[in-house]
Amino acid sequence: MLFLPFTLPFAVRRFLRERLSPVSVRSRLKSQLENREQRFLELIRARVYAVPGSPYKKLLDYAGCELGDIESCLNRTGLEETLKELARSGVYLTPGEHKGRQDVERGSLSFRVRTEDLVPPRRYGAALGASRSSGTTNEPRSSVSSFDWWREESPAMALFLDAHGLLSSRMAAYEPMLGSLAAGITFFLMTARLGVPLDRWFARPVRVNNWLEELYFRLPSHEIALAGQWFGPGFARPELTPAGDIDRIVRWVERSRKEGFTTCIWTVASNAARIAQVADEMGASLEGCTFIASGEPVTRATRRVIEKVGGAVTVLWGYWPTGTVGVGCGRPAYGDEMHVMRHSLAVIEHPEPITHAIGEPIHPLLFTTLYPSAAQLEINVANGDHAVLSERNCGCPMHEAGLTLHAHNVGSFEKFTSEGLAFPFDDLYELLDTTLPDKFGGGVGDYQLVEEEGMSGRTHVTLLVDPSVGPIRESSLQDFLTEELAAGSRSKGFMAGVWRDSGTFRIRRESPMATSRGKVLPLRVAAKVR
């Protein structure tokens, strides 16, 4: 169910045929929010109760929950409370269960989820496009998305731009051609429906296995650009921009500012920091430039680097295959505060907490898709994230349109494991982006922990230190790393001590490994060392 190259321009034409305005998107979004319960009921009637093999039908049968029960609960308590009640009854999927890595077990019920059980029938998404996950905690996986789904997300994206004063900005992407139908390029197809063109597409080079694979991804990228030029307000062709040529992005920002335009760059947080660092080295200013940073948390260090050269940054939160979960608030009370996309998703905290690796109870977030055109049907699916959810009146355009649910302090309870002990990694961004650079030199993206298995079968936790960082006394760095990982609780101290005594920690002078989008994650699981 992937695009054939010759069909792509026609799909883009159909998608861009309807133009949106800030006024129309507000009324559309309000309408979407008003009928959430009815849409959910219709969705599970057609995609769950009418499909005997559905994994959700198995869970609902185990819980003794019939369609009439759900309808009654929706009318009585609303969507979120109904989903919480379902979760209490065992109707949910953990990350491992959802991805088919482990069996779903609820009492006597046991089965394994298959991806094909979750994807929509073709009739729910006539024009489908290929995409890939970034491989944050797993191997990258292929998926499909539809223009029908992006059409439902478009109104909120328009309000997002409006809330940050970006509708009149020159737009640019620092995104690879590989997987071009996901992330940033999808966003710019949505903004094209508002009449906002993509001025530049700085394409980050990525590795491919052979020339055929390179052609497969290059061709759709150029077709998207041409279709955007023919049928939309304008869409820049991708121009390869290696890391050594980032200065051209800085010069584009400066030139646009001299011509009287503000600018907006979509990229991952690591790349935003790199662009700001290059600007600082050039003695240039990024005043009037706003980064839309996705794919990883924007740490204090990242924000500090960007603001030092006059730039600004807002955030976007999403995950494969669901798409966008939250977009940065126009008047945030917290650095990563976002509006949850409640028109297309329902997000709740699992009523039953789980015990974190350091002994702290947390409530995993559970996600439910509300449109049949979503890449996968999700009902109370956990993806490994947790966050603080709250309702507040921020006064920005997204709140006024009805997106009143906010999220901040988004993190993951996923962990890396060695010597039979698990260590959470959601606190590693601050340690690797700020603490280590402040003490030993370097900057954002120069340090990375890698879990790798040696020839002996033992798992090591290796700290990669970019060669560009000056001379470091490795014994001092290893002692300091051990102390920092041990700080905060007795269990952390125990784990760090075991790893130190068993020789789990290693240090290697090597550039940190980046994902295909250029993300330098705090933790990577590497292939076996041979």
Q: Looking at residues 502-529, what average pLDDT do you find?
A: 70
Q: Looking at residues 39-44, what average pLDDT do you find?
A: 95
Cα 261 from Cα 146, distance rounded (Å): 33
**According to the model, what pLDDT value does residue 359 have?**
46
| Numbered ranges of CATH 3.40.50 in the chain | 122-412
Cα 104 from Cα 119, distance rounded (Å): 18
Q: Looking at residues 11-32, what average pLDDT do you find?
A: 84
Strands 523-525 and 447-453: parallel
| Token pair belonging to 61 | 């049968």
DSSP 233-263: S-BPPEEE--GGGTHHHHHHHHHHHHTT--E
pLDDT of 315 above 50: yes
Would you tell me the crossing angle of helices 79-88 and 67-77 to the nearest 10 degrees? 130
* Cis-peptide into 321, omega within 30 deg: yes
Q: Which residue has the higher pLDDT, 414 or 96?
A: 96
Q: Which residue has the higher pLDDT, 503 or 461?
A: 461
**According to the model, what pLDDT value does residue 362 have?**
80
pLDDT of 138 above 50: no
pLDDT tens digits, one per residue of 146-191: 778 888 888 888 899 999 999 999 999 998 876 545 567 888 888 8
Q: Which of 7-21, 37-51, 180-194, 439-453 has the lowest mean pLDDT?
A: 180-194
**According to the model, what pLDDT value does residue 529 have?**
35
Q: Which of 106-110, 203-207, 231-235, 416-420 has the lowest mean pLDDT?
A: 416-420
Q: Which of 28-37, 324-333, 476-485 has the lowest mean pLDDT?
A: 476-485
Cα 25 from Cα 152, distance rounded (Å): 10
Cα 517-508-456 angle, rounded to 5 deg: 100
**According to the model, what pLDDT value does residue 439 have?**
92
| Numbered ranges of CATH 3.30.300 in the chain | 415-525
**According to the model, what pLDDT value does residue 337 have?**
94
Q: Which of 133-147, 274-288, 435-449 has the lowest mean pLDDT?
A: 133-147
Q: Which of 241-245, 439-443, 462-466, 490-494 has the lowest mean pLDDT?
A: 490-494
pLDDT tens digits, one per residue of 274-289: 899 999 999 999 999 9
Going by CATH, does the domain composed of 415-525 fall within 3.40.50? Answer: no
3-state SS record for 104-154: EEECCEEECCCHHHCCCCHHHCCCEEEEECCCCCCCCCEEEEEHHHHHHHH
Which among 83, 140, 85, 21 has a CA at the least distance from the CA of 347? 83
Element (H, E) at 290: strand 289-294
- pLDDT bracket for residue 444 (50, 70, 90): confident
Q: Looking at residues 492-516, what average pLDDT do you find?
A: 71
pLDDT of 525 above 70: no
pLDDT tens digits, one per residue of 218-266: 777 888 888 888 888 989 999 989 888 999 999 999 999 999 999 999 9
**Exposure string for 83-114, b = 16+ CB within 10 A, e = fewer:** bbbbbeebbbbbbebbeeeeebeeeeeeeebe
- pLDDT bracket for residue 141 (50, 70, 90): very low
Type of residue at 346: A
CATH T-level fold of 122-412: Rossmann fold (3.40.50)
